[in-house]
Amino acid sequence: MTEDEIVTAIEALLASHPDTLRVTRGDDAALWQPSRSHRSAISTDMLVEGVDFTREMMSLEDAGWRAMAANLSDLAAMGARPVLATVALGFPQDAIQKEVLELYRGIAECAARCRCCIAGGDLSRAAVWTIAVAVVGEVRPSNEKLRSGGRPGDVLAVTGPLGAARAGLFGETAGLQALKRPEPRIAEGRFLATSRNVAAMMDLSDGLSTDVRRLAAASGCGAELNAIPVADCARVLAQGRGEDAERFALAGGDDFELLVAIRPRAFSHLAARYAKRFGRELKKVGVLRVEPEILYKGERVEPSGWDHFAASADR
Amino acid sequence: MTEDEIVTAIEALLASHPDTLRVTRGDDAALWQPSRSHRSAISTDMLVEGVDFTREMMSLEDAGWRAMAANLSDLAAMGARPVLATVALGFPQDAIQKEVLELYRGIAECAARCRCCIAGGDLSRAAVWTIAVAVVGEVRPSNEKLRSGGRPGDVLAVTGPLGAARAGLFGETAGLQALKRPEPRIAEGRFLATSRNVAAMMDLSDGLSTDVRRLAAASGCGAELNAIPVADCARVLAQGRGEDAERFALAGGDDFELLVAIRPRAFSHLAARYAKRFGRELKKVGVLRVEPEILYKGERVEPSGWDHFAASADR
C-alpha cells in the first residue's frame, strides 16, 4: 500500500461520519472557522526514530527542531501564521531526563523562531523516540491557499533550491545541516498568500516528484517540469556520483521549500517582489497542463520522493 | 524520574522562551483565545502499543476508541465542547491496510459520538502501533475550569464509580469493557462547567490517588479522602483477591470520570441536579484541606496510580 492509497481509504471511512463542522481536509493543514472573522489551520506530523531519523544521523535537539519545523512548514504551505503547538513525546525506557530536555530544547527553539507557543504535551514510554507535534495557526480567509486552486497554464515555482536534505542523507555536510535544521518558510508562505495570483500552494516535504503530482491532481491537472533549482551541495554530491543533479533534486524529500502555482501573467512581477524581499529566487520549475501526466523535460516522472510505506521508498 | 518531575523541568525550559500568546498550561488542556468572544482548548495524548495497550488486551478498533476517548476526556475536564482532532498514527512494517482502517474506525466512532470532527492526520512507519491524537475544543470564558481553582473546605466529588478499568487489567469482563471503550464525560463536564460553584475540575486518567494530588497541589491545598465510589466489577474483583475495594479503586488508573472541587454550600443542590440529569450520583469523596498531605481515612496516601516513567508503576 502507498501513503496516498491509504489516505484515500481513510478519507472514505471518515466520510461516513458526517462532519459537525465545515473542515477542509486533504491539504497540508486542515482549515476551520472558530469565529466569523477567523480562519484557523491545524496540522500534525509524527517523527519516529529509525524511520525519519537516527541518533547517529542527528542529535535529539536536531530531531526536536526537525519535528517542529515539519509541522510549521505545513502551516507555511497554507499561508498561515503559527499560533501554538502541542507535543506528544514517546521515549525509550533507558532515556534520561537530560535527553528529554535536549529534544525539547530543539522543539522550543524552532517554535520560538517562528513565534509559535508550546501549549501542552504528553509524555509516554515508547520503544523508540517518537515525536508527534500538532500545530495551530491562523490565516485571513482571503489569504488561504489550498492545493486545489491551480489550473492549466499556471506557472509552477519553488521558493528555493532543492536536494540539500537528500545530499545530507548521503553524508554531505551542508546537506546534513539542511536535514537537521530545516527552516519552515513561514514568512515566504505568508508573503505568497497575500497575492491573489498565487492559486495553489503546498510544502515539499515528500519531494518535488511526489508533491507536484499531489498539487496537480488536487487542481485537476497534470504538470510539466523543465528546470529544477538544485542546492549547491546537492549538485556537488550528484556530480560526484555521476548522477544528473536536477534528477537527484527532483527525487529528494525533506526539502521544506514551498511549491506554488501562479497565474502566468503575474509570475514575473511576483518573482521580482519575492527576490527583493527574501534575497532568493522564486524559481519557475514548470507549468500545470490539461494532460494528467507528470513530465520532466518531456519524460514521464514516477513518484520517487519519500513515501512512508512503499517498500521501494528511495530517499 | 517521575512524570511530574520531568513535566516541571520541561515547563522551566519553555519558560525561557517568552510566549507570544497568553496560554494557560499545566491543566488537562491548554487554553487560548483565538478571538475576543472565544476561548479554545487544546490537548494531546499518545497511546503506545506495549505501554498503554497490547493487541492481546484489545482490538485495534478499541485502541483507536481509547486514544480518542483519552483526548476528549481532557476537553471534558475543561468544560469544553469538542470541535476537531488530528491523528498522527505510526504503525509497524507488517501492518496491512485493513488494520489501519480498523484502528481508524475506532477513532472515528468515538469522535463522532462526541461530535468531534477528524480534521487531519499523519501516517508513519513505527516499531509498534503508536497513536498521537490532538483535540481542539471551545469553551465560554465564563465556564472554563482549571485545576487551580479549589480552596480549603471545597468538597471533592467524582462523576462516577472508579476502579473498573483497573479490574479490566486483571481480566475482569465488565472492567475490560471500561478499559477498551471508556466514555469521555463531555456532557458531564459541560454541565458542571456551567456552575460557578465548581471551582476546579480535572479528569482521572491517571487514577484518583495520583490526580487528587495534582488538583490539590494546583489549588495550593492538601486533601482528605473518606469514601471512594467503587465500580461493581472492581468490588467483586478486589474482594476475590482479598483486597480492600476502595483502596483498589483509589489506586486504579484509566478511569475517565471527572474530579471536581465544589464550594461546600453548593454541593447538595448541584449533586441533586446532576443525579436528575445523568441518572448517576455525583459522589463526594472528600474535602480540600489547608495541610498539604493527601490522606485517605486519616492515613497518608502515596501516589500509586499510573505514572508512565516511575519504575514501580503499579496499575
- The pLDDT tens digits for A199-247 are 999 999 889 999 999 999 999 999 999 999 999 999 999 999 999 999 9
CB contact under 8 A, A126 and B123: no
Q: Do A122 and B44 touch (CB under 8 A)?
A: yes
> Which helix (H) or strand (E) is A87 found in, with range?
strand A81-91
Confidence (pLDDT) at A8: 79
Looking at chain A, which residue has its C-alpha nearest residue B137?
Answer: A34
**A and B: number of Cβ contacts within 8 A:** 228
Which residues on B lie below 8 Å from A106 (Cβ)?
Answer: none
Find the residue in A nearest to B121 (Cα): A44
Residues of B in contact with A90 (CB under 8 A): 46, 48, 51, 130
Q: What is the pLDDT of residue A313?
A: 33
Of A96, A119, A124, the CB nearest to B25: A119
A37·B34 Cβ contact <8 A: no
User: What are the residues whose beta carbons fall under 8 Å from the beta carbon of B38, sequence distance 6 or more?
Assistant: A34, A35, B138
Q: What is the pLDDT of residues B132-178, one digit of tens each?
A: 999 999 988 889 888 999 999 999 999 999 999 999 999 899 999 99
Please report residues of B whose CB lies closer than 8 A to that of A100: 6, 9-10
| Chain A residue closest in CA terms to B22 | A117
Closest-CA distance, B76 to chain A, in angstroms, reads 16
Three-state secondary structure readout of chain B? CCHHHHHHHHHHHHHCCCCCCCCECCCCCEEEEEECCEEEEEEEEEEEECCCECCCCCCHHHHHHHHHHHHHHHHHCCCCEEEEEEEEEEECCCCCHHHHHHHHHHHHHHHHHCCCEEEEEEEEECCCCEEEEEEEEEECHHHCCCHHHCCCCCEEEECCCECHHHHHHCCCHHHHHHHHCCCCCHHHHHHHHCCCCEEEEEECCCCHHHHHHHHHHHCCCEEEECCCCECHHHHHHHHHCCCCHHHHHHCCCCCCCEEEEECHHHHHHHHHHHHHHHCCCCEEEEEEECCCCEEECCEECCCCCCCCCCCCCCC
Which residues in chain B are contacts of A50 at CB distance < 8 A?
A: 127
pLDDT bucket at B13, cuts 50 / 70 / 90: confident
> Which domains does chain A possess?
3-141 (3.30.1330.10), 146-300 (3.90.650.10)
Work out the average pLDDT over B259-276: 98
Prediction pTM value: 0.89
Chain A residue at shortest CA distance from B9: A101
Q: Which residues of B touch A9 (CB under 8 A)?
A: 97, 100-101
Nearest-Cα distance to chain A for B270, in Å, is 30
Per-residue pLDDT tens digits for B104-135: 999 999 999 999 988 888 889 999 999 999 99
Q: Which residue has the cell 476546579?
A: B200
Predicted local distance difference test score (pLDDT) of residue B292: 94
pLDDT in tens, A251-290: 988 889 999 999 999 999 999 999 999 999 999 999 999 9
Banded pLDDT at B31 (limits 50, 70, 90): confident
What is the distance between the alpha carbons of residues A237 and A10, in angstroms, rounded to a whole number?
39
Question: Where is pLDDT greater, at A308 or B25?
Answer: B25
Which of A23, A118, A121 lies at the smallest CB-CB distance from B117?
A: A23
In the prediction, which pLDDT does B308 show?
55
Over residues A189-201, the mean pLDDT reads 97
pLDDT on residue B315 = 32
Q: Which of B51, B109, B124 sits opposite A308 (nearest CB)?
A: B124
Higher pLDDT, B16 or B79: B79
ipTM given for this complex: 0.86
**Per-residue pLDDT tens digits for A139-183:** 888 898 889 999 999 999 999 999 999 999 998 999 999 999 999
Å between B95 CA and nearest CA of chain A? 10
Return the SS3 of A303. Answer: coil
| SS3 assignment, position A180 | helix
- B67's grid cell: 486514544
Model confidence over B173-224: pLDDT tens digits? 999 999 999 999 999 999 999 999 999 999 998 899 999 999 999 999 999 9
**How much is the pLDDT for A161?**
96
Contact A21 B50 (CB under 8 A): no
pLDDT tens figures, A57-111: 999 999 999 999 999 999 999 999 999 999 999 999 899 888 999 999 999 999 9
pLDDT confidence tier of residue B311, bands split at 50, 70 and 90:
very low
CB atoms within 10 A of CB B94: 6
Instruction: Enter the C-alpha cell of residue A225.
Output: 517540469
CA nearest to A71 within chain B:
B122
Taking CA–CA distances from B40, the nearest residue in chain A reads A34
Number of Cβ atoms within 10 Å of the Cβ of A97: 13
